[in-house]
């Protein structure tokens, strides 16, 4: 791989890391929201939706990490 393509891929990694930070921050906000709910609400539909959102955001973080790892592998 030439220097120009490596540079472009490194820029993509940087962008993915910025996006990862944003997703992680939103996930943390959702976890705080869920944790602040009374237990009765946590067990309600509203709590279940918050839990589902947290799980989906965790999955998104894993996907971003996998993408970064694959790009790094391509650069090597």
3-59 per-position pLDDT tens digit: 999 999 999 999 999 999 999 999 999 999 999 999 999 999 999 999 999 999 999
For residue 51, what are the domain limits? Answer: 3-75
DSSP secondary structure, the chain, as one string:
--HHHHHHHHHHHHHHHHHHHHHHHHHHHHHHHHHHS-HHHHTSHHHHHHHHHHHHHHHHHHHHHHHHHHHHHHH-
**Which pLDDT belongs to residue 1?**
86
The pTM (predicted TM-score) of the whole model is 0.90
Counted domains in the chain: 1
**Which pLDDT belongs to residue 45?**
96
> What is the end-to-end Cα distance of the chain in Å, rounded?
9
Q: Which residues make Cβ contacts (< 8 Å) with residue 6, sequence separation at least 6?
A: 75
């Amino acid at each position: 791989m030439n220097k120009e393509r490596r540079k472009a891929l490194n820029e993509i990694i940087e962008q993915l890391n910025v996006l990862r930070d944003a997703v992680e921050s939103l996930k943390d906000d959702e976890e705080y929201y869920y944790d602040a709910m009374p237990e009765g609400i946590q067990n309600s539909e509203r709590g279940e939706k918050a839990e589902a959102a947290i799980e989906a955001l965790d999955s998104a973080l894993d996907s971003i990490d996998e993408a970064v790892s694959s790009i790094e592998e391509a650069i090597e």
